[in-house]
Amino acid sequence: MKKILVTGGAGFLGSHLCERLLSDGHDVLCVDNFFTGSKQNIAHLMGNPYFEVMRHDVTFPLYVEVDQIYNLACPASPIHYQFDPVQTTKTSVHGAINMLGLAKRVKARILQASTSEVYGDPEVHPQLESYWGRVNPIGIRSCYDEGKRCAETLFFDYWRQYQLEIKVMRIFNTYGPRMHPNDGRVVSNFIVQALKGDDITIYGDGSQTRSFCYVDDLIDGMVKLMNSPADFTGPVNIGNPGEFTMLQLAECVLSLVKSKSKIVFMPLPQDDPKQRQPDISLAKKELDWEPKVALIDGLQKAITYFEKVI
Ligand code: NAD
Ligand code: UDP
């Protein structure tokens, strides 16, 4: 049994990770400021004596004793991370400094939930870990993209300077139960709109692509990365290489929900990446990981969840 800290543990991915770590027999400390996460996401874990929750903002130092740290704290949806962009950068940068400092003091292994956003609007397709990205440093997505890039820098500097055991995971768009119904991300938006019979809002002409990974696959990759040999630091892409246009996604959701919603086209937000698809050869080779859940099956599970919550 390990003592494991999950920052952002009350969020969408964090709550699934806490659940998985508890079922693997670990002692889990969930730290969250509940900015986008909720107690509801972790309510079913509260009775477990090996689960503990602490309300704390990672931009402030944290003194606890743990063996491993998963650093997930950070709003992930564009509307949430653009709500208070200064706080978003602080969460990524000060949060990383604080969690790396903690890892250094207690000699814990630490994993960073980085993102495909470090590739920006990419000229290389699919994206390989060796690609340095094309990110606008002064746009409305920059608080998130550059914050996450700086966090990666900090992780690698702590590794070079202090020989910390680091793991950097570049997460591509992930979906599933416990996404916030109003968090503005495309999968939750389309499903909620289809279920309510509201218009399906496609931004731009819907030709932009994303690759969607079901949450269980993602968590499996995350745990495998954390427990990989010490000399494997990443960065490593974890995502589902199946690539879809937003128009295809909308049509797929409409047919699964059997909804009469109409598709409407709205302005494309600034700096919205045109295409995104992970090259996962490194994850396959180093972690023996690849996603198993097809989009249609994962969407069905997410639809069943949203039917209950809305
Ligand atoms: P989420 O918004 O559901 O979860 C983030 C959690 O972090 C929330 O519980 C929130 O309250 C907490 N948080 C935010 N700021 C904090 C702070 N200063 N101190 C403490 N807690 C704080 O998002 P998610 O989808 O679960 O994403 C989790 C992580 O994975 C994020 O770091 C995100 O950048 C990364 N990621 C997610 C995706 C995805 O598709 N879901 C893709 C790439 C990267
Ligand atoms: N998008 C859309 N309609 C929506 C929400 C999002 O067409 O209601 C588009 C968005 O412009 C982007 C893609 O879907 O091209 C994915 O958006 P999301 O916010 O889920 O993630 P990210 O852009 O960070 O990959």
Phi/psi at 201 (nearest 5 deg)? -90, 105
Q: Please, what is the average pLDDT of the chain?
A: 98
Please give the Cα distance from 210 to 245 (Å, whole number): 7
Please give the Cα distance from 41 to 36 (Å, whole number): 11
- 18 pLDDT band (50/70/90 cuts)? very high
Beta-bridge partner residues of 127: 278
Please tell me the class of the 3-175+214-240+277-292 domain.
alpha beta
Q: Is 201 in the pocket of ligand 2 (CB under 6 A)?
A: yes
CA 174 to chain centre: 6
144 catalytically annotated = yes
Catalytic residue, chosen from 70, 119, 144, 158, is 144
Q: Where are the beta strands (DSSP E) in 172-241?
A: 174-175, 200-203, 209-211, 213-214, 236-238
Condensed to tens digits (0 to 9), the pLDDT of residues 49-81 reads: 999 999 999 999 999 999 999 999 999 999 999
pTM beyond 0.95: the answer is: yes
* pLDDT at residue number 245: 98
Please give the Cα distance from 176 to 180 (Å, whole number): 10
Question: Which token pair is 124?
Answer: 């290389």
Q: Nearest ligand, CA of residue 94?
A: 1
Q: Nearest ligand, CA of residue 81?
A: 1
Q: Which atom of ligand 2 is nearest to the CA of 116?
A: 25
CA 185 to chain centre: 12
Please give the Cα distance from 37 to 266 (Å, whole number): 28
Can you give the residue ranges of every domain in the chain? 3-175+214-240+277-292
User: Which CA distances in Å does 144 have to 85, 119, 151, 292, 310?
Assistant: 8, 12, 10, 29, 29
Going by the DSSP 8-state scheme, the letter that residue 134 receives in this structure is B
* pLDDT at residue number 151: 99
